[in-house]
Amino acid sequence: MLKVDNINFSYGEVPILSNVSIEVGDGMFVLIIGPNGHGKSTLLKTICGLQNPQSGAIVYNNHEIDNLPVQKIVEMGLVYIAEDRHLFPDMSVIDNLMMGAYNKNARLKEKENLYFVFDLFPKLKLLKKNVASSLSGGEARMLAIGRGLMSNPEFLAIDEPSLGLAPNLRVEVFKKIDDIKQKGASILLVEQSTAIAAEYADIIYVLEDGKIVFSGTREEAFDNQNIREVFLGT
Amino acid sequence: MDPWVYKILSGLIDGLTIGSVYALIALGLALVFGVTRTFNFAHGSFFTWGAYFAWTIQKAFGKEISHLVIFAIVIPALYSLGWVFEKIVVRPLRKSTNWLIIVMLTTLASALILDTTALVVFGPLTKSIPPLFEGRVMIGQIAISINDLSIFIIAILIISLLTLFLNKTRQGTAMRAVAQDLDGANIVGIYSDKIFGYSLGISAVLAGIAGILLAPKYFISPMGGWTPYIKSFIIVFLGGLGSFKGAVCAAFILGIIEAMVVLYISTVWVMPVWFVVLLIILIFRPKGLFGIWE
């Protein structure tokens, strides 16, 4: 479904991603872990069209997307949920969600996606009329994911969804993301709090210094003592 | 009625009228800032050119031509002017470093070009167009010019339409989304480039209509847009940068102050009094009346 082939990305003179290749199959949950500041967020942003790679190809559902703007990529069903959330602070929860359905494909499915989002996050339904800037960290995280779901994704690229959340909320967020995967979406997740996320992942990549240093199934990752100790915290 | 009460009421009415037009110009400035986070220094030139468009149409079709026809022609013309302006002046510069400052400088240069073109095409002498309506109407013992009343109504109508557009339509909400979080707007699929274009287009219409409404009383001249432009800056800062509500309130407050100063002191004291008012308010509320700032 998504194939990233040997991409390179530099910020000016500074190389951030070097020859990175990953693959996400239909309906798979792929996790990218690694030390902070080593390119995980940049990789997601490049895949989602917020930046363009200097070289290499990104293919999504047989379309080359490496030079497309983010808006076109969203229309194709590849939705990005940012670490910084980027909610609309002065709009209500419901307005934020409805803006999520802006792209033309999502508009047709507005009602059923909203129903799904409220079913997944009942708290958001309660907070429907509240202004986004008044939400707590966990609620804002839920809204960011909910808004992403309103864009009618087949593929969700999520950047550190549990950052800054209390441990019990972290568990809940990953459970919800797994629920979304069960509905048929493919998930590409970048995470720091890896122990919990790894439980749900099918494939795990380790990104260090802008390069992929490990790729394997969840079992292979847990079998690898190095990976286990350094990243999975066991 | 006591003559001094009459005088105050007249001043209030004048203030509300001029305030409503100032609200249009200020909203245009506030809209562009809210969406693009920069200032369009050619905003005053749109004010001037709106008036010149109207004058040209009158010259071509005769003075009897209905203002409705004028607006029907000028509004799309102004919108296109603003939209094209965004596409050829603002957008190409967005990738550059320090683009906020570069855009201000480039729009300033464009303003000078637009003003000089007006000077060459229309000449240095001031021009005028007839008012919307002649005559007065009596409300109690007060005489109000029908022209002033119509200006007020038209301005309020436009402000209401704009508010409706921003709050109740999808594109209007998308515009607010771009203003509140550009990255967020992009990731939900809003083509923010297009929204930038809409905002410049709408602001040109607002400025141009204000120019047409004020033309009968204040005359049209090539550099005539600069005073309204500077005034709209004071209004936007008083209201609070980033607040539409603030811009409208500040426009009326300052409009009434202007009318009172003209009535009781003299026209030349308007700007100094405005600046003093702005400074005093900023001391107590540094972000303006409804300040948001970002």
CA–CA–CA angle B35, B41, B47 (5° rounding): 95
Q: Give yes or no for residue A45 having a pLDDT over 60.
A: yes
Task: Write down the pLDDT at residue B292.
Answer: 63
- Separation between Cα atoms, residue B294 and residue B292, nearest integer Å: 7
Q: Give yes or no for residue B294 having a pLDDT over 60.
A: no
In angstroms, the separation between the Cα of residue B185 and the nearest Cα of chain A is: 8
B187·A50 Cβ contact <8 A: yes
Task: Write down the pLDDT at residue A193.
Answer: 62
Phi, psi of A143 (to 5 degrees): -65, -40
Nearest to A188 by CA among A84, A78, A107: A78
Beta strands B136-139 and B142-145 are antiparallel
Average pLDDT on B64-82 reads 88
Q: At what angle do helices B99-122 and B43-61 cross, to 10 degrees?
A: 30
In angstroms, the Cα distances linking A143 to A72, A97, A100, B258 are 23, 7, 10, 47
Q: Give yes or no for residue A194 having a pLDDT over 90.
A: no
Higher pLDDT, B237 or A165: B237
Higher pLDDT, B288 or B112: B112
Q: Give yes or no for residue A60 having a pLDDT over 80.
A: yes
Bridge partners of A158, per DSSP, are A81, A189
Contact B27, B159 (CB under 8 A): yes
Residue of A nearest to B168 (CA): A95
Average pLDDT on B52-59 reads 91
Instruction: Using an 8 Å CB-CB cutoff, list chain A residues near B180.
Output: 88-91
Q: How many CA atoms lie within 13 A of B20 on its CB side?
A: 21
What tens digit of pLDDT does each residue of A102-135 get? Answer: 999 999 999 999 999 999 899 999 999 999 999 9
- Separation between Cα atoms, residue A194 and residue A175, nearest integer Å: 14
Q: Give yes or no for residue B190 having a pLDDT over 90.
A: yes
Q: Give yes or no for residue B168 having a pLDDT over 80.
A: yes
- Separation between Cα atoms, residue A121 and residue B256, nearest integer Å: 50
Residues of A with CB under 8 A from a CB of B: 48, 50, 70-71, 74-75, 79-82, 84-91, 95, 98-103, 106, 147, 150-151
pLDDT averaged over every residue in chain B: 91
Instruction: Using an 8 Å CB-CB cutoff, list chain B residues near A75.
Output: 189
Of the candidates B183, B188, B191, the beta carbon closest to that of A99 is on B188
Task: Write down the pLDDT at residue A233.
Answer: 66
Q: Give yes or no for residue A214 having a pLDDT over 80.
A: yes
Average pLDDT on B25-42 reads 93
What tens digit of pLDDT does each residue of A75-99 get? Answer: 999 999 998 889 999 999 999 999 9
DSSP assignment string, A51-105: S--SEEEEEETTEE-TTS-HHHHHHTTEEEE-TT----TTSBHHHHHHHHT-SHH
Lowest mean pLDDT among B61-70, B198-207, B248-257: B61-70
Give the model's confidence band at B293: pLDDT under 50 very low, under 70 low, under 90 confident, else very high. low
pLDDT averaged over every residue in chain A: 90
Of the candidates A82, A90, A98, the beta carbon closest to that of B187 is on A82
In angstroms, the separation between the Cα of residue B186 and the nearest Cα of chain A is: 6
Task: Write down the pLDDT at residue B174.
Answer: 96
Cβ atoms within 10 A of the Cβ of A147, count? 28
Average pLDDT on B104-116 reads 93
What tens digit of pLDDT does each residue of A129-162 get? Answer: 999 999 998 899 999 999 999 999 999 999 998 8
Average pLDDT on B156-177 reads 95
Residue of A nearest to B189 (CA): A71
Instruction: Using an 8 Å CB-CB cutoff, list chain A residues near B176.
Output: 88, 90-91
Task: Write down the pLDDT at residue A171.
Answer: 86
Task: Write down the pLDDT at residue A225.
Answer: 83
Of the candidates A75, A80, A89, the beta carbon closest to that of B187 is on A80
Instruction: Please tell me the pTM assigned to this model.
Output: 0.89
Q: Give yes or no for residue B206 having a pLDDT over 90.
A: yes
Phi, psi of A106 (to 5 degrees): -75, -30
- Separation between Cα atoms, residue B229 and residue B239, nearest integer Å: 15
Task: Write down the pLDDT at residue A234.
Answer: 55
Average pLDDT on A7-31 reads 91
B173·A99 Cβ contact <8 A: yes
Average pLDDT on B6-26 reads 93
Contact B11, B171 (CB under 8 A): no
Q: Residue A37 corresponds to which amino acid? A: G
Instruction: Using an 8 Å CB-CB cutoff, list chain A residues near B190.
Output: 71, 99, 102
From start to end of chain B, where are the E strands?
A: 136-139, 142-145
Cβ atoms within 10 A of the Cβ of A35, count? 14
